Amino acid sequence: MTRYTARPIEAAALKELRTTDDAGRPCVPYTATDDDAGSPLRCCLLPIQAGERIALVSYAPLRRWAAATGARPGAYDEQGPVFLHAAAEDCAGYAPDPGRYPFDRPGALRTLRRYDARGHIAGGRLLEIPADATAGFDTALDEAFTDPDVTLVHVRAVEYGCLHFEVRRP
């Protein structure tokens, strides 16, 4: 059983991103190929399957969180590439698996970047996902949230730096 809840991109943001991304570019859907298969979709936190209609868009998760909370991340605001289903009807949405975290392949490297209530980076940690991936994530997230200033954590891929999912203080 996971101790924390992975959060996909919220529905309202997905609706906007499927039209115009956070860099102001129009969404350009395409059909996923075998080369895309296995990459993470941030709408449902599932891997891409060849043949699905997807889009690669620029997403600014901290900016969107800050707009909802009044935080002022300043220079810590960033945007990066994420895959999502090209249309809402193509996506069943996120169905959490209480026994595991998304994209938890043992051996993969993740960065857990911590943010405070201002939206400023409050530390981070490299995680090589262990064989017991759930315990590994739980331990790393426990460590992050022992700091009372940490409000949320972004779990990112090391290789590309892209956001996999967000976890907020329970």
Q: What is the pLDDT of residues 51-90, one digit of tens each?
A: 999 999 999 999 999 999 999 999 999 999 999 999 999 9
**Which residues have CB under 8 Å from 68's CB, separation 6+?**
none
Q: CA 116, CA 125: separation in Å to the nearest integer?
A: 15
Could you count the other beta carbons within 10 Å of the beta carbon of residue 126? Answer: 10
Residue 153 located in a structural domain: yes
Task: For residues 71 and 141, state if they share a domain.
Answer: no
Cα(23)–Cα(13) distance, rounded to whole angstroms? 13
Average pLDDT over residues 83-110: 95
pLDDT at 161 over 90: no
Local confidence band at 139 (pLDDT 50, 70, 90 cut-offs): very high
Residues 6+ apart with CB under 8 A from 24: none
Domain boundary (61, 90, 119) is at 90
* Residues 16 and 86 grouped into a single domain: yes
Q: Say what the pLDDT of residue 170 is.
A: 87
Out of 42, 57, 90, a domain closes at 90
Q: What is the domain extent for residue 48?
A: 11-90
Same domain, 15 and 75: yes
- Contact (CB, 8 A) for 165 and 8: yes
Is 77 in the same domain as 146?
no
Cα-Cα-Cα-Cα dihedral sign, residues 14, 15, 21, 24:
negative
**What does the alpha-carbon distance between residue 38 and residue 66 come to, in Å, rounded to a whole number?**
30
Is 104 a member of any domain? no
139's tokens: 């331990």
Q: How far apart are CA 139 and CA 127, in angstroms?
A: 10
Note whether 61 and 19 are same-domain residues. yes
Residue 98 lies in a domain: no
pLDDT tens track for 8-55: 999 999 999 999 999 999 999 999 999 999 999 999 999 999 999 999
Residue 34 maps to a domain: yes
Residue 64, φ and ψ in degrees, nearest 5: -70, -40
Q: Check whether residue 128 and residue 82 sit in a common domain.
A: no
CA distances, 139 to each of 115, 123, 124, 126, 155 (Å): 17, 15, 13, 12, 14
Provide the domain count of the chain: 2
54 close to 48: Cβ distance less than 8 angstroms? yes
